[in-house]
Each structure stands twice: as C-alpha cells, then as structure tokens.
Amino acid sequence: MKLTQLRGLIAIAESGSITAAAAAIGVTQSGLSQALATLEESLGVKLLVRKANGIELTAFGERVLEHARAAFTHVEAIRREAAIAAGEPFGALRIAAFPSVFATFLPPLLRRFRTLHPDIDVIALETDDQEVEIWLDEGSVDIGVVLNPPPERNTITIGRDAWVCVLPSSHRLARRGSSVSFAELTAEPFVLATGGCHIHARTLAEHAGLSLTNIRMEVRDWTSAIALVREGVGVGLAPESTLPENRKGLRVARLDPPLYREFGLAAAPGRTPSRAARLFMDLLQAKR
C-alpha cells in the first residue's frame, strides 16, 4: 500500500471523478486508475463503484477513506515537526494576486495544493498588480503573481492571455469580420475595465500612441464591463480568459496585431522562500 494510492482515493472522494482527481494530484487518468485497481487487488475488496453521475466509494471504501485521511494527517505532522526542527516556518502560505488571476488561473492550482498539503493554511490576498509588487518587496507575502514580469525577474510562468475586442453583436465592427485594429476600437464609444491592474485598455492604447477619446463607463470588474457592452453602452477590450461562457448579445474579435499579457509567480526577493512557498513553486514546476 502506497501513499500515492491513498492520496488518489482521497482526491476521488472529494471530486467524484477520476479525471478531476488525477488533475488535482498531478497524475494521468490512466495512472490513477491503475494505482487504485492495484490497491483494490492488494486488499481483495472493491473500494469504488462507477455510477451514471461519476464514481462513488463503496461502504468499505468509506472506511478506508477515514484511515487514508488519518494517515495523511500523520504524514503532514511528521513534515511539520521536521520543518520546526530545521527552523523553517511551515504552517501557512501567503499568496497575493490581482482579481482576474484569482478568478481564472489560480483556483485549480490552489485546489491541487490543498489536496497535496492539507495541513498548510493558504492565505490568498487579492489586490491590484502594483500592490502585489510592493507586498513582495516588503516581504508581506511569500509569493505573488506578477503581471508581465521582465525577463530579468526570476518567475515561474503560470499563464498567457490574449487581449480581445468585445463588441455588441449588432455593432458594425462585429458584422465586418473576425479581427479589429486597435485604432478602430479606440475610436468607438468605450467601456473601460481595469480588472484591478495598471495595464488595461487605456494604458495599452497610450503605449500604442492612441487614446480613448470617448469613455462612456469605467469600472473595475470585467464581468460588469462585459455586461455593459452587451447592453450596447460601448465596445471594450478584455483578456480572453475573463469572457463569459454565455456570449449571447456579444461578438468577440481578435485584435490585429495581437496583444498578450503574461503572469509569473515570484517569491519575495531578498530572503529564502519558506517551505510552503517552495512546495507551491515545486508544484508549478512539475506541472510545466
């Protein structure tokens, strides 16, 4: 019996799906299925049963689950004691990021980390991208997500996002084609969203030598901005990851030439990362 098998059992109990459980603990679906099949074979008892809406634990599987969770509690206690003996803080991870990253890229990573390290308290702090940099420099957080990190900064890339044009479906630019130039977009009545970042449509336009001359509404939240575009208040520019699944009343067009934003995970400079921070960064490195 291996800890990886017990970890897989716990992940399936929490997600109800082989696919989701495999993603949560960072293994392939076939690898997890094989590991659990081997565990069942070694025990001589079925632990899982497939149903129309997913996978459930058998009555015996539920009893094994209790022991599996207890085993991981003890394993984490050993790691915590070892960290204390080595003089390393272990019990909490303070991570800062801006809103759109917390809404899109970070949740699956945080879920996976909590599954792997349930005894580490994750303290997630939402702020704007400039304050993330300040908190990192001050050492107020262990790690933070940095927007468009410069090449010289030591970061782990966690995502890349295209900026796209968001238009009311009846807009003339929406009817014309699949791409729109930035100059055409900025000349229209505009709904500006910042997303809690200093890089947004206005700053991107200024960098391109353009300006937003007719801002009808300015909001922080991407969801609010897209709702206003849907109502015909104006056009907008948004990161592709923030777009809703339901795009009724909207038309999304590519920006020509394209623009992107990138996210990198950075540790607080000038000090050795905490054990919890190293574990999170190891998780990201293994995922790449």
What percent of the chain has a predicted confidence (pLDDT) above 70?
Answer: 95
pLDDT surpasses 90 at 31: no
Do 28 and 39 belong to one domain? yes
Phi, psi of 58 (to 5 degrees): -70, 175
Do 232 and 273 belong to one domain? no
pLDDT band at residue 88 under the 50/70/90 scheme: low
Do 125 and 245 belong to one domain? no
Do 171 and 237 belong to one domain? yes
b/e burial code for range 167-195 (CB count within 10 A of at least 16 → b): bbeebebbeeeeebebebbbbbebbbbbb
Q: Are 110 and 122 in contact (CB under 8 A)?
A: yes
Q: Which domain holds residue 113?
A: 92-157+263-287
Q: Are 132 and 266 in contact (CB under 8 A)?
A: no
Do 256 and 268 belong to one domain? no
pLDDT band at residue 284 under the 50/70/90 scheme: confident
CATH number of the structural domain spanning residue 13:
1.10.10.10
Measured distance CA(82)–CA(78) in Å, rounded: 6
More reliable by pLDDT, 152 or 162: 162
Q: Report pLDDT digits (tens) over 221-230.
A: 899 999 999 9
Measured distance CA(240)–CA(159) in Å, rounded: 12
Here the tokens at position 196 are 């809690």
Q: Name every residue whose Cβ is closer than 8 Å to that of residue 117 and which is 6 or more positions away in sequence.
A: 76, 276, 279
Torsion from C-alpha of 184, 188, 194, 200, nearest 10 degrees: 20
Over the chain, what is the mean pLDDT?
87
What is the per-residue pLDDT for 32? Answer: 85
In DSSP terms, 122 is beta-bridged to 93
3 state SS for 253-277: EEEECCCEEEEEEEECCCCCCCHHH
Instruction: State the average pLDDT over residues 240-244.
Output: 91
Do 61 and 179 belong to one domain? no
Here the tokens at position 2 are 């291996």
Do 241 and 198 belong to one domain? yes
pLDDT surpasses 60 at 90: no
What is the per-residue pLDDT for 195? Answer: 87
Q: Are 147 and 224 in contact (CB under 8 A)?
A: no
pLDDT surpasses 80 at 141: yes
Measured distance CA(189)–CA(208) in Å, rounded: 18
pLDDT surpasses 70 at 281: yes
Instruction: State the average pLDDT over residues 69-80.
Output: 76
For 1, how many CA atoms within 13 A lie in the half-sphere containing its CB?
A: 11
How many distinct structural domains can be found in the chain?
A: 3
Q: Report pLDDT digits (tens) over 91-117.
A: 688 999 988 888 888 888 888 888 888
In DSSP terms, 93 is beta-bridged to 122
